[in-house]
Chain A
Amino acid sequence: MWEWSEDYTPEELMVVCGAREIKDGDVLIVGSGMPLIAASLAKRTHAPGCTMLLESGVVDAQPRRSPQNVADCCLTPGAASVHSFFEMMATHLQSGHIDIGFLAGSQVDKYGNINSTCIGDYYRPELRLPGSGGASPIGCLARRVLIMMRQAKHRFVSRVDYITTPGYLDGPGARERAGLPPNTGPVAVISTMGLFRFDSETKEMYLESHHPHTTVAEVIENTDWELKVSPAVKPTPLPSEEEIRLIRQELDPQGMLRRVLR
């Protein structure tokens, strides 16, 4: 059995939490940075049969350095297939072949709706954000969505300023009523402070575990609504020494993950 590692950064623990959500055989669509490292970690440990897709059109990328972005040329040599947005988004995602989509954003709310479009009014934004990219269709059409975000009160809000990517909208049944496929939606939110899931009845986000370097009270303090907490709440299991070694030595040797998130 592996030894547990006390020496980890919050971002490394997020990556490990992301990897733990992946089952062997899953087909994943990931972005660069944490999701790519999480998927690579799962593939190197408990899920060797998972397949990683990048929205830039790459299947089973074998990068030999930390990619700068999903369109980094280092993702091409060695891949199983390289094509286009159309192939990835339409022929693999829209047709229902993606198990897991990893997403991030600037705001998330208690129903797992994500905003990556604007802060403030859409027409006169205080802060204009990049926009959907592939996030919205991934959030609409992947069977399970994992959200990775830094925890802060202005990021975990009761209602996002703009729904770029629909989560459970305003509660149970809302996705289906809006026209989205059944049995899709966010299953977990992984933040710098904790791991959250969605209540099967109310579809509201609740705290399942707090990372060992934080407390439940701290997570609540950094959430802008009355956060529900699992009665069985516990500290998030630590990463293993092997997981940390793989991340630092093999999956992200340039420390891109540590730099990007600072």
Chain B
Amino acid sequence: MNKLMNMDEAITRFVHSGDMVYLGGYGCRCVSSASHEIIRQGLRGLTLVRCSLSDETDWLIGAGCVSRLLTSIVSLGVGMGLGAAFRRAMEQGIPNKVEMEDYTNLSLPMMLMAGSLGIPCIPVKEMWGSDLLKFTSFLGKDKFKIISCPFTSQSLMMVPAINPDVAIIHVQQADAEGNAQVWGMEGDCELGAKASGKVIVTAERIISREAIGRDPNRTIMPGFRVDAVVEEPWGSHPLAVTGFYDIDQEFRLMYREASETIEGFEGFMNEWVYDVRDRPGYVAHYQEKYGIERLEGLKAAPYFSPSVNYGY
């Protein structure tokens, strides 16, 4: 089944105010363009889920789309520090109060795994002794439970399964049915997609079903589990996509600086989100402002893998 559609239609049909949304990406393959479309559509009350939430979360929080974070860490990374919009929301309730349930880069993937397995909870061997157990947020008593292991009688820390309403993942390539292929760092993308009710795949390029079959081990999400496919070159910018383009640190630093004030944040959002229609419009604006050379300069150098023989 052909599930190709544009970003506007994918977000309109599959993401709704109040949803729990899994956002794929970690340093690379971030769902930047999908986040911009969510902001343009003015969705509210979202719960964002992922380990290591970053730039997209800061934009979504600052634009007032977010009520809750189910995550392990929110940071723009080394040398960039905390997102200013995240801090304004957490410390001053601007533009609205955001609740955060603190987990870790171990427990959260395990919770997504439990969600993907269709089981209610899963044990983890961490958090003991930490204040992650002392303070809970919107999950209250359901943040964790301690039970006795039925086999060893030892205490087990159980964390609940997460099943987001919808996952959005950005991948290197997919076919029209949604068979989605990635390489490079995975973050918790595969688990997040497999745990979610609906799945939107956005891809740097659309390839044929035949081309998918040339390297089927690279598929992290088979098409039968996917609801929408969007072809979206430069969809992760200013974050990277392995094999396509590098991180645009200069652009990120510009946002970091602008977002220090509410006016600066709004100016950035007007220029790069509200005043452009879609990602092609964003790329066109970037080229107009900074020149084609700067965009070209981000493109990945070749470092090809030798092909493998799938024959028999």
Contacts and interface: CB of A to CB of B under 8 A. Distances in A.
A14 to B, nearest CB: 15
A117 interface: yes
Contacts, number: 180
Interface string B107-125: 1111001000000000011
A174 B72 contact: no
B144 interface: no
A136 B104 contact: yes
B51 A94 contact: no
A71 B28 contact: yes
A178 B146 CA distance: 12
A125 B187 contact: no
B90 A93 contact: no
A85 B129 contact: no
Interface string A114-144: 0001000011011111111111110011000
A191 interface: no
Interface stretch (B76-84, B254-262, B287-295): B76-84
A164 B51 contact: no
A130 B91 contact: no
A68 B113 CA distance: 29
A126 B28 CA distance: 31
Interface in B123-156: 124-132, 135, 155
B188 interface: yes
Interface stretch (A3-11, A55-63, A230-238): A55-63
Interface residues of B, number: 58
Given A68-B247, A127-B91, A32 B78 contact: yes
Interface string A130-164: 11111111001100000000000000000000111
B235 interface: no
A82 B100 CA distance: 29
B56 to A, nearest CB: 14
Given A133-B72, A140-B125, A94 B106 contact: yes
Given A89-B106, A117-B131, A136-B126, 14 more contacts: A71-B26, A72-B27, A84-B190, A85-B51, A89-B104, A123-B135, A125-B91, A128-B86, A128-B91, A133-B52, A134-B104, A175-B129, A180-B129, A260-B79
23 contacts: A56-B185, A68-B249, A69-B77, A71-B52, A72-B27, A73-B27, A73-B28, A84-B185, A85-B26, A85-B109, A89-B105, A89-B109, A94-B124, A123-B135, A131-B102, A132-B105, A137-B124, A137-B126, A140-B126, A162-B135, A164-B130, A178-B129, A179-B155
Interface of A: 31-33, 55-58, 68-73, 75-77, 82-86, 89-90, 93-94, 117, 122-123, 125-137, 140-141, 162-166, 169, 174-175, 178-181, 256, 259-260
